[in-house]
Structure formats: C-alpha cells, structure tokens
Amino acid sequence: MENKFNPIKDYNLSKEKLIKMYQDMLKIRYFENKITDLYSKGLMPGLAHLYIGEEAIAVGVCNNLTERDFATSTHRGHGHLIAQGCDLKRMMAEVLGKEDGYCRGKGGTMHIADFSKGILGANGIVGAGIPIATGSGYSAKVRGTDQVTVAFFGDAASNQGTFHESINMAAAWKLPVIYVCENNLYGISVDIRKVANTKDIATRALAYDIPGVVVDGNDVLEVYMVTKEAVERARRGEGPTLIEGKTYRWKGHHLGDPGRVYRLEKETKEWMARCPIKTYKERLLNENVATDKELVIIEKEIKQMVEEAANFAIKSPYPKEEEAFEDLFTEPEGVK
C-alpha cells in the first residue's frame, strides 16, 4: 500500500480551509486519546468505540456542510460530531455520563446528539440512522429548502435492510441525501470481504441507479472533493450519492477489544503508516501551506482545548436520580 496524493494546490482551497481540516482531525484524535486516558482511569462508564484512524472521512465530509444541514451518526460517532463543530466540553461531559453532557447523561458516547448543529443523533443500532437521514432529506424536499443530509454508517451497516430500503427510496424520489459508508473493513470481528461479494460497497449504487464513488478515506482532501460534488448535486435537486471511504480503525471495536485476534498485525501496521493526520501534516509542510511553527501552535491549542473539555467533564456533577424520569415526553410532568 502506497501513499499517493495529489498536490494540494490542485484542490484550489484557501489556507484557512486547509488548516481548519487539520485542526478538525487533530481535535478528534486528541479527544479520543483523552477518552482512552479517562477510560483507563475508570472515569468513563460503558463502552468507547473509537474513530481513531478514520478522521479524514468525518472532516472531509462535514467541511462541506453548514449548521443548517443534517447528519445522522453511528456508535462510532465522536468524529462526526466534532467535525460538525459540536462543543467538546458538552461531548466529554456526556461521555462521562454527566449533567452538563449534550444528553444530560441519558445517551452517553454512543448516542450524542446536537440538534443545534443538525446532528440528529449518534446511534447504537447498526444502520438505523440511514432511514432517519432519508426522512430528513424528504423533509427538506417538502419544505422546499436546499438543506442536505449526510448518513454516516460503516461497512457492516451496508448489509442491513435499512441501507437498501432507504437508498431505494432516496433514489426514487431524488432526495438530497449523501450516504457515506466508512469502510473500515471489519464489523466488530467480521471481515466484510468474507460476508459480502462486492469488492467495493459503492458499486451497490448501481442497483439503485445513483452515483457511487470510492474514495481514499484517509485522504481528507479527496473526501472533501467527492463530498463537495455530491452535496452540490443534492442541492441542485439531482438526488443522492453513495460515497465509500476506504479506511481502517486503528483500535479494536471498542476499548475493551484489543482488535488483534481477527486482524493481522501487518495489516494494522500498514494502515497506521497511512495515518490521515500525519500524512496530511507532511503535505502541509512539504508543500509550504503551513510552517512547522504554525502547526505546533495549533497542536498545542487543541491539546489545551481537549484538556479543558476533560476538566469540565470531570468537574460536572452527575445527574440527579429523579432526572431518569425527565425528557421522555414533551409534557414536563410526564405521562401517566
């Protein structure tokens, strides 16, 4: 596996945009490194499904969206939320099950939602966000807006009925939805190549007569460009696109899974050598987009930001026991 990148100048992007994408990827990486730290100290309850290694997809995609657009996320959702500009403090507080978390401690790592940024929820059920995103796209059509919706999901979700049912409807009705498959090759321990005959999941788009694009999911600029085209198509009313980003999760399925028994070390190492952040940093430096000094400052700032988020989350109180009975219905007094 070789790293083949196009010159940055070919993408015709502003320095500001190029740097922002670096910052966004770093935020995800540092945020999840911090989760690993808090988890190992016993401060984080539950499971942590880490996105480390896949940052370029969320960042390349979400940098095409505005806060008026929508996205549905997955159990491995931290990256999508961070790339969409969600608040690290409230995210980390939710991860620790605290009162100041986005979901007031009721959702946790797998279910963070931020409706103010269009994030309609991370989701603990594989493939379940896909129809929800499709409905969000239907809604934009009915309301006559140019909003688009992104459905993030993994390779394993592409074998759920919801994937096929939803893309079928979106294609039939030309809905403004971008289906982004993050193919990290494994559904927990199961190798996608052993349970599906399609080499590229994107070819499934053919069945629904919509564009299907394979992209190097570790190249943030390529992801950005293919998404840009899909978003423009969607906004023009030309319907959905299926994008498959080839990538790899560095960690196990979650922090309790070392992720070794079902994968070859060689494979993991090869993918780690293609780190989406490290390779992008080298390109920024080699192609004189940024200086080493500038990037060091950015790294320091983001470390600080994540540190503050962690401190905020640790200090935040746990929700009160009686809050378990709140937020079920819109009636504040509940429903008998």
Partner 1 sequence: MRKITYGQAICEAIDEEMARDKSVIFLGEDIEVLGGNFRATPGLYEKYGGWRVRNTPISENSFTGLGLGAALTGLRPIVEIMFCDFMMLAGDQIVNQIAKIRYMSGGQARVPLTIRTTLGAGRSTAAQHSQSLQAIVCHIPGLKVVMPSSASEAKGLLKTAIRDDNPVVFFEHKMEYNKTYEVPEGEYIIPFGVANILKEGKDITIVGTSNQALKALQAAEELTKEGIDAEVIDPRTLVPLDKDTIIKSVKKTGRLLIVDEGYERCGVAGEIAMSILKDVFYHLNAPIERLTTANVPIPFSPALEFPLIPDEKKIYQRVKDMVLG
If one asks whether residue 161 binds partner 1 (CB under 8 A), the answer comes out as: yes
Residue 133 binding partner 1, by CB under 8 A: yes
Of the pair 13, 110, the CB lying nearest partner 1 is at 110
Between 85 and 124, name the residue whose CB sits nearer to partner 1.
Answer: 124
DSSP state of 310: H
Sheet holding 241-246, edge to edge: 70-72, 149-154, 177-183, 241-246, 212-216
Contacts of residue 244, defined as CB under 8 A and 6 or more positions apart, other chains included, come to 181, 183, 200, 201, 202, 212, 213, 214, 215, 217
Q: Reduced to 3 states, what is the DSSP secondary structure of residue 306? A: helix
CB of residue 240 to partner 1, shortest distance in Å: 13
Site membership for partner 1, residue 333 (CB under 8 A): no
Region of 163-171, 207-215, 269-277, 291-299 interacting with partner 1 (CB under 8 A): 163-171
Q: What is the DSSP pairing of strand 186-187 with strand 149-154?
A: unpaired
CA dihedral 178, 119, 128, 201 (to 10 degrees): 30
The site string for partner 1 over 165-194 (x = CB under 8 A, - otherwise) reads xx-xx--x----------------------
CB of 20 to partner 1, least distance (A): 26
Residues 98-117 that bind partner 1 (CB under 8 A): 101-107, 111, 113-115
Q: How many CB atoms lie within 10 A of CB 82?
A: 26
Residues that bind partner 1 (CB under 8 A): 70, 72, 101-107, 111, 113-115, 120-121, 123-125, 128, 130-143, 147, 149, 161-162, 165-166, 168-169, 172, 326-331, 335-336
